[in-house]
């Protein structure tokens, strides 16, 4: 992918402006969209395509894991916004593998987000815009984000300050997809940081912003961040040696934790690869195979939790 003149991995365009007429905030190069007869590879190399090629739309299909040695490549069509076996819901579908097929069988409509989720969505949108445009949180407060208030802006600023304090390459709202491992292995992470020279053996840091106050999230062994880290590691295994350290960081300013609003946990590339094959991929296989149902704390955010009438019918 073509690099910006400021040394970044990709151009940074203002949000909200029509594609094809934007100008990079850093190098001031005008954007040009690839023509229909230009290959995806050429578009990526030229810097006119911002993200990694993605796979075809995946709805309620029950895919089988694909061998990593099969040489399968991601397709170029768009994916749904969320995977049925995504990182944020992994605790639920790994503990209750039957929930995946249950949710698909019920054909649950896309419900309106409750206000607290809408507020979190707006806070994440503001955070991404701030990092993309190099502005502070208060500058992202506008009528388009009515729930993004001063309290949320203060929390976002904690996240911004931390990310900006970390050296190296920064990738925000990064889409990942590993179809060679499983067709439903995809999602979008908040921020990935790659140190310039691998300070102290650190080769990758995944930073996740949490706006919520109701559920305090721990960084230790966090499966959501581990999922994202593995996706990046497997994208280029030769770049990440097994002994390389990977840091998983949670930034949750609005919820009290004795360790403070920023919490990190270090692991290694080798340990994450072991987790991938020992836990993540087997859990995906159980879920798509129609496993058992299990009640637990993971039911709190399950889409099927209030569907007793449909189940009885």
| SS (HEC) of 12-37 | CCCCCCCCCCCECCCCCCECCCCCCC
Domain 51-312 classification at class level: alpha beta
pLDDT band at 18 (very low <50, low <70, confident <90, very high): low
Q: Per-residue pLDDT for 64 more than 60?
A: no
The structure's pTM equals 0.73
Q: Where are the domains of the chain?
A: 1-50, 51-312
Residue 123 token pair: 């806070």
Confidence of residue 277 (pLDDT cuts 50, 70, 90): very high
**What confidence score (pLDDT) does residue 69 get?**
32
pLDDT tens, residue by residue, 30-44: 766 444 343 433 333
pLDDT digits over 86-115, tens only?
999 999 999 999 999 988 888 765 445 667
CA-closest candidate to residue 85, choices 222, 283, 308: 283
Q: What pLDDT digit, counting tens, does each position of 41-62 carry?
A: 333 333 333 323 223 233 333 3
Long-range residue pairs from 75-83, CB within 8 A, at least 24 positions apart, any chain:
75/179, 76/40, 78/54, 79/54, 79/55, 79/175, 79/177, 79/186, 82/187, 83/58, 83/184, 83/185, 83/186, 83/187
What confidence score (pLDDT) does residue 235 get?
83
**What pLDDT score was predicted for residue 287?**
94
pLDDT digits (tens, 9 = 90+) for 146-157: 999 999 999 999
């Amino acid at each position: 992918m073509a690099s910006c003149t400021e040394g970044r991995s990709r151009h940074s365009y203002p949000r909200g402006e029509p594609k094809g007429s934007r100008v990079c905030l850093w190098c001031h190069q005008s954007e040009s969209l690839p023509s229909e007869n230009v290959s995806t590879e050429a578009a990526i190399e030229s810097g006119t395509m911002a993200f990694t090629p993605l796979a075809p739309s995946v709805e309620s299909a029950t895919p089988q894991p694909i061998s990593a040695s099969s040489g399968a490549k991601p397709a170029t069509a768009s994916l749904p916004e969320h995977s049925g076996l995504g990182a944020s819901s992994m605790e639920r579908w790994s503990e209750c593998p039957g929930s995946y097929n249950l949710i698909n069988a019920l054909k649950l409509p896309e419900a309106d987000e409750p206000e607290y989720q809408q507020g979190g969505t707006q806070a994440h949108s503001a955070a991404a815009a701030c990092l993309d445009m190099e502005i502070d949180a208060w500058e992202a407060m506008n009528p388009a984000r009515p729930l993004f208030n001063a309290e949320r802006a203060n929390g976002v600023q904690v996240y911004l300050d931390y990310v900006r304090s970390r050296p190296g390459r920064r990738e925000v709202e990064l889409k990942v997809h590993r179809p060679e491992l499983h067709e439903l292995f995809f999602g979008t992470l908040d921020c990935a940081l790659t140190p310039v020279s691998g300070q102290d053996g650190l080769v990758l840091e995944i930073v996740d912003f949490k706006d919520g106050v109701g559920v305090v999230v721990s960084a230790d062994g966090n499966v959501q961040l581990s999922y994202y880290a593995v996706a990046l590691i497997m994208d280029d295994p030769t770049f990440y040696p097994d002994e390389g350290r990977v840091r998983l960081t949670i930034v949750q300013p609005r919820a009290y934790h004795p360790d403070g609003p920023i919490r990190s946990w270090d692991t290694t590339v080798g340990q994450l690869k072991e987790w991938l094959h020992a836990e993540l991929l087997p859990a995906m296989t159980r879920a798509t195979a129609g496993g058992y149902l299990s009640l637990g704390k993971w039911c709190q955010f399950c889409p099927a939790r209030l569907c007793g009438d449909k189940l009885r019918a």
